[in-house]
Structure 1
């Protein structure tokens, strides 16, 4: 017998970007699985762990849109610069069809599928080619405003997609709670070099925007 969860959840559908062009698909798949396990163990609000469902596509559910968006960023930071992923986040009720196999359906998943389709279309346009995350709310469901979240995600994705490898390492460390002095020592560069990257590459803006998105309920 199917059952409907009493409230909406944030359903996440993700996949890898340009995975078919990877020289070692098995190694890429292993890196993805490790990233999903790491994020599932660390991001608050997890309901169903992020897991590969078929090929390079993966899914999971979260209690809030904010926790889902935090997980999307965390997966990207775990994969970059060697690989990247895109995400559709849907907010709505989810139906459990088969508890033993964990098969789910419902408006939350339909919204997530529509959102990841949006990402594919948006990233195909030169002006928004850095888009990697989209959000949709299921019909007739109360939840975070689509336009406001979309605007924030476009900016966050652009900032992250514009970074070089060293700045990705810096922002990854900041998000993990490392100080700039600690990062300078870890990376073998001067504290002033870390500070300059934080300022000129907009890393502080990226971290603050992510903090605010995390609070979206």
Structure 2
């Protein structure tokens, strides 16, 4: 299973933590509706979230959708892992579980050393996707997302949800030409990179 651990960046500086937790819960619900999960995304302890996926495509897409849903007020860093997972208590929420899938996700997020972004680590016995290539994609994708302004990030989110440029223009109450210009300045590149990665 491809595992995901997310951690709120600068959580202690958030002025209204209750409001932030509700926003995160809502964002996870929307991501769960948009992406097939093995284990639904859910909040855990210590300002973290977790979830499990059958493919690295869905795991990486989840990290992007969550960040875009919460921007600019809240940001998360993500560790992605791959390996076997053992559920120790199915009745507990969040699930009580263990195994290489979670060890690698924890290693990945610890490897970020409090930086923003996403990192992937696969267990030696379960490496269907080469970690170096995945991390190269994530570095480029997240670096490009960081250059987008708030409106462009909203456009990217809408495009990933299947909205046309005309629909995005109507939502943002701007011209289609303005949307097209934003797509040319990075929105299209991130969208196409994420979709292309999913087909690789």
* TM-score computed with the length of structure 1 as normaliser: 0.87
After TM superposition, the structure 1 = structure 2 runs for residues 199-210 of structure 1, keeping only pairs within 5 Å, are 199-200=184-185, 202-210=186-194
Does structure 1 residue 98 correspond to structure 2 residue 109? no
- Post-superposition shift, 1:62? 0.8
After TM superposition, the structure 1 = structure 2 runs for residues 61-76 of structure 1, keeping only pairs within 5 Å, are 61-76=52-67
Does structure 1 residue 163 correspond to structure 2 residue 154? no
Q: Specify every segment of 5 or more residues in structure 1 that has no aligned partner in the other structure, as ranges.
A: 1-8, 124-130
In structure 1, the partner of 2:6 is 14
In structure 2, the partner of 1:4 is none
- Post-superposition shift, 1:55? 3.2
Does structure 1 residue 116 correspond to structure 2 residue 101? no
Q: Specify every segment of 5 or more residues in structure 2 that has no aligned partner in the other structure, as ranges.
A: none
After TM superposition, the structure 1 = structure 2 runs for residues 1-217 of structure 1, keeping only pairs within 5 Å, are 9-44=1-36, 46-101=37-92, 102-120=95-113, 123=115, 131-200=116-185, 202-215=186-199
Deviation sequence 1:71-121 (CA, Å, 0-9, x none): 111111111122111110101111122222231100110000001112235
CA change 1:142–1:186 in 2 (3 A) is closer
- Post-superposition shift, 1:215? 3.6
Separation in 2, partners of 1:159, 1:90: 23
Given that residues 83 and 125 in structure 2 are in contact (C-alpha distance below 8 angstroms), is that contact kept between their aligned partners in structure 1?
Answer: no
| Structure 2 SS opposite 1:54 | coil
Given that residues 67 and 76 in structure 2 are in contact (C-alpha distance below 8 angstroms), is that contact kept between their aligned partners in structure 1?
Answer: yes
* TM-score computed with the length of structure 2 as normaliser: 0.94
